[in-house]
């Protein structure tokens, strides 16, 4: 092999290694965020990706949504929109018992 070919092979190898490290770190971040979303509980103080601060009022696992209480204003977000947890709830029930079924949601809307 001549030096030109070796240069291209070396460049290709460096690019492949950089891509591998990038994908690996991205998958780690994705797993950490999924663990954060899975550990959410009613009463947790959270910040969304839009920097909105609120307290989790309810979690709907079917629709993968979270209802936040922002000083009396209730807003519904996709659960992936939660960026971080500021304070964990101390006495709150786990997310599984804080679920809102679609039937309960329909009853709430009907009132």
Q: What is the rounded distance in angstroms from the CA atom of residue 47 to the CA atom of residue 54? A: 7
Whether 75 and 52 have beta carbons less than 8 Å apart is answered as yes
The pLDDT assigned to 2 comes to 80
Give the pair of three-digit tokens for residue 45: 């103080």
Q: Which residue is associated with the tokens 């990706």?
A: 49
**HSE-up of residue 41 (Cα within 13 Å, Cβ side):** 11
Q: What are the angstrom distances between the C-alpha of 61 and each of 46, 64, 86?
A: 17, 5, 21
- DSSP for 8-59, please give it: HHHHHHHHHHHHHHHHHHHHHHHHHHHHHHHT--TT-EEEETT--EEEEEEE
Per-residue pLDDT of the chain (111 residues; tens, 9 = 90+): 688 888 999 999 999 999 999 999 999 999 999 999 999 999 999 999 999 999 999 999 899 999 999 999 999 999 999 999 998 878 644 544 444 555 555 555 554
Question: So where are the chain's domains?
Answer: 3-110
The pLDDT assigned to 107 comes to 53
Burial class (CB within 10 angstroms; exposed 0-12, middle 13-18, buried 19+) of 5: exposed
pTM, two decimal places: 0.62
């Amino acid at each position: 092999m001549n030096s030109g070919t070796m240069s291209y092979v070396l460049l290709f190898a460096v690019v492949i290694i950089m891509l591998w490290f990038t994908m690996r770190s991205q998958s780690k971040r994705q797993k950490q965020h999924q663990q954060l979303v899975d550990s959410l509980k009613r009463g947790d103080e959270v910040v969304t990706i839009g920097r909105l601060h609120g307290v989790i009022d309810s979690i709907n696992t079917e629709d993968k949504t979270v209802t936040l209480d922002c000083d009396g204003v209730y807003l519904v977000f996709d659960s992936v929109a939660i960026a971080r947890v500021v304070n964990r709830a101390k006495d709150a029930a786990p997310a599984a018992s804080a679920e809102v079924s679609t039937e309960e949601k329909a009853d709430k809307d009907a009132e």
